[in-house]
Structure 1
């Protein structure tokens, strides 16, 4: 490029700071010139093109106090008399090298170069999976969509952060959450949050449901010996539904009630039946 062979003097070196160094698409940025020599005559800004060449954006002439625009000027740039360059409505195409040339008396010159990062404003991601239901013991993958460059991801279940462990793996920069062998306690809402240097956005909860085999019901009391003319209360429940209890109450029990009582649990989705029996003895 034109500036490749220029060398800077050993005295006051100009520098440029991007404010902010990370900017969202559509926002504004200031390329702030520092250590500008008082004896400058011309300030010229260049923008690197796709071929690595430095193309003139604009220059400011101190003697006349006027600006001239160049081929790289897009109408979004403002060159201030102090040498700083203001850029409005930045795009990904602006994430290139910008160079300022400070020309002074007796052919004195100094240069400085700066780059900044342009990031998209993140929208709310969406959690996706092949199915809302999965069998206990099988793997399942949750994906945070869409895929976005230079973005970090954080997963939560029931509001708690998730990290890699024996049954849980993260891939594609934590964008994909894999449960290698789900258990029924993995049921619940999963959320994915995305973040880049300029924005952050959480997903809506995705509820994962685990389908599992029917538990054997539990009956109590386990050993049933009764006395005639007393009341007897029997209960039946399963471990996964401890709040659902079936009760059988037999008032004023007698020898005619002797025999077997069976608790039957039927799972409609699995079309399975589990039973547990207890024998009443006097």
Structure 2
């Protein structure tokens, strides 16, 4: 079949040559023959004669030669072998006696082949490696190496070519990975083959954690991130080894597990965390210690105790945390100072390192005690309240009036750890054996009232809290004064109230001067120069002052005098302000806006009514204007009084409208 195709091709060539100038030549379709191929050489002599063939100067074999006609001959090469390569000469002994010849060189080759050359290599970083390229082919094959379309030269260096055409790379690294091309080319011929060889450089994994110890404090808002820096080729897999006590349900990882996030850190998360990076080459590990501190906590056996004087207090405080906090009991004083409770053998002491003990409780022991837990992770404290009876008042003096005694305290009262709620006031004359008493609120003045003038009294008082009554103060002997004018009334500015243009304030009288109050005189004015006083009297049993019809946005000055038959007291003075009132909407009526709206609505209604009347009677007004614009209505010609009588003084204009002559 192949031979038939060659014959057809040669016939086509001969047809073309038949129209060309006759000359001696050899024609073939394949100057280069692949080993095993067939080829035909056609010799065109250009004239009649005897045609013979030679190869490399020797006569060709007869079975290869076929005569076509008197002017042409062909030589067949079947199943080309390497020895078929050479110079083929066509000789012609023309009938004219002229001898001529022409030659043609046939090249036979075996195509380059890479045999069992590996197309993929894996190497370990740092090794000296050799990449082989096993090439076969004939007659002579040249080998070249390329990378990224650039030719690799054989100069001495880290990458060199060996004599057997292998490529050597010393101390290979990750930058050397990629595709290398081995090119096999038949020498002096454009015949070549290429093989791409992939190089992978493996790197043993490394795992690094910059911190050896990470310190955090446990808590629901505390999240900790542990990062492991991993390198290696192929990409290593990461495995975390965590403490057995840690709850992995609170763990979160990023995509490659190089970061471990622990949410809501607790104490049990404490321990070693090991990051292991592993690939097919080897594995590497790094460790970090998670040091979890717990904020200290102090817990009391009870928060409050109520004891009678003489009893013993014992309350325990347990502290926890990591590191274990130190425990300290302190006493909080009224001036916010802290007094440390020692662990010695005193009446107030700490036992066993955590129990507060107070023997023979006194009033001065009452108050707040704080259990403090102190550690590097922070401090915590919780308060304990000891409550007992109040103490006896000390440094008490009494100031007599005609009918009263006013107590003055030179030192603060000892409340026993619970607020004073009442005072018990007692008094008696020298002839009396029993004390008279009255209980007052703790906010009331410490005054015994309604005593007799010119009388010697023994007086004392005792504080009370919700637990009981404390001891009475030392007895004071006082003599009330003679009858005189009353003391000034008491006005407490903070109790005054302003409502609209009215002012009210409670009125208190401590001492009447030994004679009943007849009335109170109240005078007030705007606090300006040359303003007139306004004055009024109040009954003696009055307990509140009410001032009416005051001016808004004004400052006032008021004076109150207590009057008895012996005169009037010094005035009690007070200043107050009456502010500008805030406008309020009358719920039962209409505001100014509503009234204005009604007036505008009425005005618009009247305006529309007048305009409508004008429209229908005299064909004028806004409604008429809108009707013409919107509906195109024609305005009828107006009739004059004369038209009503059948006469007119004007002439009709061409458009039908009346026109007046000048």
TM-score tier (shorter): 0.5 to 0.7
Partner of 2:124: 23
Distance 1:266 1:75, change over 3 A: closer
Q: Distance in 1 between matches of 2:270 and 2:213?
A: 16
Instruction: Please state how far the C-alpha of 1:172 moved relative to its aligned partner.
Output: 5.4
Q: 1:199 to 1:86 in 2, by over 3 A?
A: farther
Deviations 1:69-122 (A, max 9, x none): 27xx744324252x4323211233322310111234776533211222235555
Whether the 8 Å contact between 1:23 and 1:29 is mirrored in structure 2 is no
* Residue 270 (structure 1) aligned with residue 378 (structure 2): yes
Task: Give the C-alpha shift of residue 191 in structure 1.
Answer: 1.8
Question: Which residue of the partner structure matches residue 41 of structure 1?
Answer: 140
Corresponding position of 1:157: 242
Deviation at 1:156, TM superposition (A): 1.6
Structure in which a larger fraction of residues adopt helix = 2
CA distance in structure 2 between the partners assigned to 1:40 and 1:168 by the alignment: 69
CA distance in 1, matches of 2:139, 2:294: 78
Q: 1:127 to 1:178 in 2, by over 3 A?
A: farther
Say whether residues 1:174 and 2:257 are aligned partners: yes
- Determine the structure 2 residue equivalent to 1:194: 277
1:79 to 134, 143, 162: 162
Contact 1:103-1:109 within 8 A present in 2 as well: yes
* Contact 1:98–1:113 (8 Å) recurs in 2: yes
Q: Structure 2 regions of 5+ residues with no counterpart?
A: 1-110, 302-316, 323-353, 357-370, 384-662
Cα drift, residue 151 of structure 1: 4.2
Rate the CA distance shift 1:157–1:116 in 2: closer, same or farther, 3 A. same
Structure-to-structure mapping, 1:1-282, within 5 angstroms: 15-19=117-121, 21-24=122-125, 26-33=126-133, 36-37=135-136, 39=138, 41-49=140-148, 53=149, 55-58=150-153, 69=154, 74-81=157-164, 83-104=165-186, 108-120=191-203, 122-123=205-206, 125-128=208-211, 131-137=214-220, 138-145=222-229, 150-158=235-243, 166-171=249-254, 173-196=256-279, 198-203=281-286, 205-214=287-296, 266=373, 268=375, 269-272=377-380
- Larger RCO, structure (CA 8 Å, separation 6 or more): 1
TM-score of the pair, normalised by structure 2? 0.27
From the superposition, tell whether residues 110 and 170 of structure 1 become closer, same or farther in structure 2 (CA, over 3 Å): same
In the aligned structure 2, how far is the partner of 1:202 from the partner of 1:135? 27
The Cα of 1:262 is off from its aligned counterpart by: 5.1
Instruction: Tell me if the contact between 1:76 and 1:88 (Cα under 8 Å) persists in the aligned partners.
Output: yes
- Cα distance in 1 for partners of 2:182, 2:225 equals 50
Note the C-alpha offset of 1:185. 1.5
> Comparing both structures, which one devotes a greater share of its residues to strand?
1
Alpha carbons 2:112, 2:186 under 8 Å: kept = no
Task: Find the aligned partners of 1:11 and 1:115 in 2 and give their Cα distance.
Answer: 18
SS in 2 for 1:44: strand
Q: Secondary structure at the match of 2:268?
A: helix
Distance of aligned partners of 1:100 and 1:12 in 2 relative to their CA distance in 1, 3 Å threshold:
closer
Contact kept, 8 Å, 2:298 with 2:380, in 1: the verdict is no
Shift of 1:155: 1.9
Structure 1 residue 209 displacement after superposition: 1.8
| Cα distance in 2 between the residues matched to 1:45 and 1:33 | 10
CA–CA separation in structure 2 for the residues paired with 1:77 and 1:240: 67
| Deviation sequence 1:24-72 (CA, Å, 0-9, x none) | 1x322232345x43647335242324xxx2x2225xxxxxxxxxx27xx
2:549 alignment counterpart: none
Using the alignment, how far apart are the partners of 1:31 and 1:98 within structure 2?
Answer: 9
SS at match of 1:16: coil
Please tell me whether the aligned partners of residues 216 and 224 of structure 2 are also in contact (alpha carbons under 8 angstroms): no
Q: C-alpha separation between the residues in 2 aligned to 1:143 and 1:85?
A: 41
Task: Give ranges in structure 1 of 5+ residues lacking alignment.
Answer: 1-8, 59-68, 220-235, 242-260, 276-282
Deviation of residue 175 (structure 1)?
1.5
Q: Are the aligned partners of 1:101 and 1:110 in contact in 2 as well (CA < 8 Å)?
A: yes
How big is each residue's C-alpha offset from its partner over 1:240-268, in whole Å with a ceiling of 9 and x where there is no partner?
89xxxxxxxxxxxxxxxxxxx95989452
Structure index of larger Rg = 2
